[in-house]
Structure formats: structure tokens, C-alpha cells
């Protein structure tokens, strides 16, 4: 469990720099350059992700079950994941309606992803991982939205159906790839059973 906790702490610390120290982040990027910042950020994120995966896999070897979710929660989780992937697509594709309306579609995607996995899994490792991601994303979203309102930020970029259609296409392709191949290959659990 220690490896999992260390990985989560590193991951959330790195991904919360913009949240707790935006001025330090901006000065560091201007001093060292955007590319160097992204490389460092990416390498630390990869290390943290490796710790999370190792710790999670270790805990799954001897699971501590807190409850046994009903079968229908897996079906609901599958549907919610399609919605989450649409928000991921909306974050990646420029000028989408969701980006214009909510500002932070990736954080909404993380919320939905974490919630869907919380309702469909009942062991301690799942609670730690998905619960911590859910709490972190809720806090980040609330703080970023409050900052935007206080700063008077208005997202008035032009959005169009073609951008939303690209996000939807991304969601569908990703969903099918994850459900029918990637989830089993990477996590070792098929969402279809």
C-alpha cells in the first residue's frame, strides 16, 4: 500500500502546482522554457504513474473487499465511461462546446472516470485510487472555476459542431478500444464480464 500512496502523493503534488503555486509555475516556465517544464513534468508523472500501478497491482493480489457491487453498476460504469471519454475528447480537440461552457472538460472527465470506477468496484485499492482522484478533481474544478469567475474570464472562442463531432468520434473509438482490448491488456480485467 505504501508504494500506491507514494505514487498518488507525487502525482497529485505535481498536478496541483498550477492550483497552489501558479505564479511559481509561470516564472519557472518563463525562466527555463515550456519544453523543459513539460519534460520534467512528464517524467515525474510517469514515475508517479508507475508507482500507482505497481502499488495497485500489489494490493489486488490480496484484495480487501469492503463491498460487492451489484452487476448493474458495471453497465452504468460503461455508459459513464463513454461520457467521460467525450469530455476527454472535448479537452483535446480545440474549440469544442464543452471547453467553452465548462472550461475544464478534462477535470470533468476525471470526475466521471473516478466515480464510475468507484461504483463498480468494491475493494480497498479501488477506493484509495478512484476516491482520491474523485476528491482531487472536485477540488481542482471548484478552485479553477472560482478563480476564473474572480478574474472575469469569459470563454468566447468560436465553437462548432465539427469540433464536437470530432470529440464524439474520439470518445466512440476510444471506448470501443478500451472495452474490447485495452482494459484487459493493461489492467488485466475485462469490463465485459
Cβ atoms 123, 183 nearer than 8 A: no
The whole-angstrom separation of Cα 178 and Cα 80 is: 13
pTM score, whole prediction: 0.91
Neighbours of 53 (CB within 10 A): 16
Question: What is the structure's pLDDT at 173?
Answer: 97
Predicted local distance difference test score (pLDDT) of residue 192: 79
Q: In the structure grid, which three cell numbers stand for residue 67, read together?
A: 463491498
**Which pLDDT does position 44 carry in this prediction?**
96
- Nearest of 112, 110, 101, 107 to residue 163 by alpha carbon: 101
pLDDT given at position 162:
94
Provide the pLDDT for residue 156: 73
Low-confidence ranges of the chain (pLDDT < 50): none
Distance (Å, rounded) from C-alpha 26 to C-alpha 9?
22
Amino acid at each position: 500500500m505504501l508504494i500506491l500512496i507514494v505514487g498518488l502523493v507525487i502525482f497529485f503534488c505535481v498536478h496541483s502546482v498550477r492550483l497552489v503555486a501558479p505564479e511559481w509555475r509561470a516564472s519557472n516556465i518563463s525562466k527555463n522554457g515550456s519544453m523543459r517544464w513539460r519534460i520534467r513534468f512528464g517524467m515525474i508523472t510517469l514515475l508517479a504513474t508507475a508507482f500507482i500501478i505497481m502499488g495497485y497491482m500489489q494490493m489486488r493480489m490480496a484484495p480487501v473487499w469492503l463491498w460487492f457491487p451489484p452487476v448493474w453498476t458495471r453497465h452504468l460504469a460503461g455508459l459513464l465511461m463513454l461520457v467521460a471519454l467525450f469530455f476527454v475528447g472535448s479537452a483535446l480537440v480545440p474549440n469544442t462546446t464543452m471547453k467553452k461552457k465548462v472550461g475544464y472538460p478534462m477535470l470533468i472527465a476525471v470526475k466521471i472516470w473516478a466515480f464510475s470506477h468507484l461504483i463498480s468496484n468494491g475493494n480497498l485499492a479501488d477506493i484509495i485510487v478512484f476516491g482520491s482522484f474523485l476528491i482531487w478533481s472536485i477540488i481542482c474544478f471548484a478552485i479553477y472555476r472560482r478563480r476564473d469567475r474572480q478574474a472575469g474570464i469569459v470563454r468566447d472562442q468560436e465553437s462548432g459542431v465539427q469540433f464536437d463531432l470530432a470529440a464524439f468520434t474520439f470518445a466512440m473509438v476510444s471506448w470501443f478500444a478500451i472495452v474490447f482490448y485495452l482494459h484487459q491488456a493493461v489492467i488485466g480485467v475485462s469490463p465485459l464480464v
